């Protein structure tokens, strides 16, 4: 995909949607897909390297890896990361079990297989609306992958940018 901003890509996708046949009724999304990519899209296989880099940065700076995976390096965003992690620590009951090294390895293997051994062909047959959501500068999966997914899903509403 050409190096264009997420906003430009969203406008291009909106223009593509304008040429689609008009619907007589508006449907709510049948599914919401968050931070994901269509099968075969480049990006998911690099998650292991991204995770390793975040672990190294976290160790060097005495921070949690989430600071580097889910938040930008700005002071405001890093303060939000601190607040988020503090809220996670407040919960004392019904906490998720810690993720094991085996689980991480299985996830990385699955992501590589998703990228290298799959095809998005069936997505064009989806006729229900699907809401595709992603950050505009996602560290784990490229935003362009979510835009590509939305393009492949013929029943998806046009992507929009929402300030967070």
87-104 pLDDT, tens digit per residue, is 988 988 888 888 898 998
Q: How many domains does the chain have?
A: 1
Pairwise pLDDT comparison (53 vs 158), residue with the higher score: 53
Q: Note whether residue 120 is domain-resident.
A: yes
Alpha helix segments (H runs only) across the chain: 6-18, 47-61, 66-69, 75-90, 101-116, 143-152
Other Cβ atoms within 10 Å of 88 Cβ, number: 12
Query: Cβ(68)–Cβ(139) under 8 Å?
Result: yes
pLDDT digits (tens, 9 = 90+) for 2-34: 344 444 344 334 333 444 444 556 567 788 998
Q: Note whether residue 45 is domain-resident.
A: yes
Q: Note whether residue 163 is domain-resident.
A: no
Which residue reads 């046009």 in tokens?
Answer: 158
E-strand ranges in 17-161 read 31-34, 130-133
Q: Note whether residue 87 is domain-resident.
A: yes
Q: Note whether residue 43 is domain-resident.
A: yes
Q: What is the pTM of this model?
A: 0.65
CATH number assigned to the domain comprising residue 109? 3.40.50.1820
Chain mean pLDDT for the chain: 79
pLDDT digits (tens, 9 = 90+) for 32-51: 998 888 888 887 888 888 99
Q: Note whether residue 13 is domain-resident.
A: no
The boundaries of the domain holding residue 94 are 28-152
């Amino acid at each position: 995909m050409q190096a264009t901003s997420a906003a430009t890509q969203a406008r291009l996708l909106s223009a593509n949607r304008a040429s689609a046949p008009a619907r007589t009724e508006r449907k709510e999304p049948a599914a919401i897909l968050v931070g994901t990519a269509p099968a075969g899209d480049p990006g998911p296989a690099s998650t292991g390297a991204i995770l390793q880099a975040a672990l190294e940065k976290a160790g060097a700076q005495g921070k949690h890896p989430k600071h580097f995976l889910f938040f930008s390096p700005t002071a405001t965003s890093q303060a939000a990361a601190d607040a988020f992690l503090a809220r996670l620590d407040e919960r004392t009951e019904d906490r998720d079990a810690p993720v094991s090294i085996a689980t991480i390895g299985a996830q990385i293997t699955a992501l590589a297989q998703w990228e290298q051994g799959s095809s998005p062909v069936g997505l064009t047959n989806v006729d229900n609306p699907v809401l595709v959501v992603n950050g505009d500068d996602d560290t784990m999966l490229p935003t362009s992958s979510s835009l590509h997914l939305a393009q492949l899903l013929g029943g998806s509403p046009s992507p929009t940018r929402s300030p967070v």
